C-alpha cells in the first residue's frame, strides 16, 4: 500500500467520515481529467501548464500521505518549471502507475470510512 495509513488517519482525524469519503470520491472522479491534462501538456510541450497541473495534483496526493506518487508529480512539476523536456513520457508513465495504485488504496480506505 502506498498510503501511510497512520499518517492518513492523523491527517484526517478531525474530519467526519462522510467528508473523508467525499474527498476520496472527488479525487477518484477528477483523476482521469487531471491525468489527461498532464498528458496533453506533455504532448504539447506546454511546460507552464505542466508545472501548474502537476503541482495541483501533487498537493492533492500529499493529503493522502502517499509519498511515491507525490514525488512523481513533483518531478513533473519541477521539469515544467525548468522547461526540462527529457523523459517526460517515462515520468508520466511512472506517475500514472503510482497514482493508479493510490486509487486502489483509496478505494480500500474508502470502504473503511463508508461503513
Task: Determine the pLDDT at residue 71.
Answer: 98
- Residue in 114, 103, 39 with CA at minimum distance from that of residue 69: 103
Task: Determine the pLDDT at residue 37.
Answer: 98
Sketch out the chain's domains with CATH numbers.
16-114 (1.20.120)
pLDDT band at 115 (very low <50, low <70, confident <90, very high): confident
- Residue in 53, 100, 115 with CA at minimum distance from that of residue 79: 53
Q: Is the pLDDT of residue 2 over 90?
A: no
Does the pTM surpass 0.85? The reply is: yes
End-to-end CA distance of the chain, in Å? Answer: 20
Which residues are CB-neighbours of 71 under 8 A, at least 6 positions away? none
Task: Determine the pLDDT at residue 82.
Answer: 97
pLDDT digits (tens, 9 = 90+) for 23-73: 999 999 999 999 999 999 999 999 999 999 999 999 999 999 999 999 999
d(C-alpha 99, C-alpha 74), whole Å:
13
More confident position, 32 or 115: 32
More confident position, 115 or 77: 77
Neighbours of 51 (CB within 10 A): 19
Amino acid at each position: 500500500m502506498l498510503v501511510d495509513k497512520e499518517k492518513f488517519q492523523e491527517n484526517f482525524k478531525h474530519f467526519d467520515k462522510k467528508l473523508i469519503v467525499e474527498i476520496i470520491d472527488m479525487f477518484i472522479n477528477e483523476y482521469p481529467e487531471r491525468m489527461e491534462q498532464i498528458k496533453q501538456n506533455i504532448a504539447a510541450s506546454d511546460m507552464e501548464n505542466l508545472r501548474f497541473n502537476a503541482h495541483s495534483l501533487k498537493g492533492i496526493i500529499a493529503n493522502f500521505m502517499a509519498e511515491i506518487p507525490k514525488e512523481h508529480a513533483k518531478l513533473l512539476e519541477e521539469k515544467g518549471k525548468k522547461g526540462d523536456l527529457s523523459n517526460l513520457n517515462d515520468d508520466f508513465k511512472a506517475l500514472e502507475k503510482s497514482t493508479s495504485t493510490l486509487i486502489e488504496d483509496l478505494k480500500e480506505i474508502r470502504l473503511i470510512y463508508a461503513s
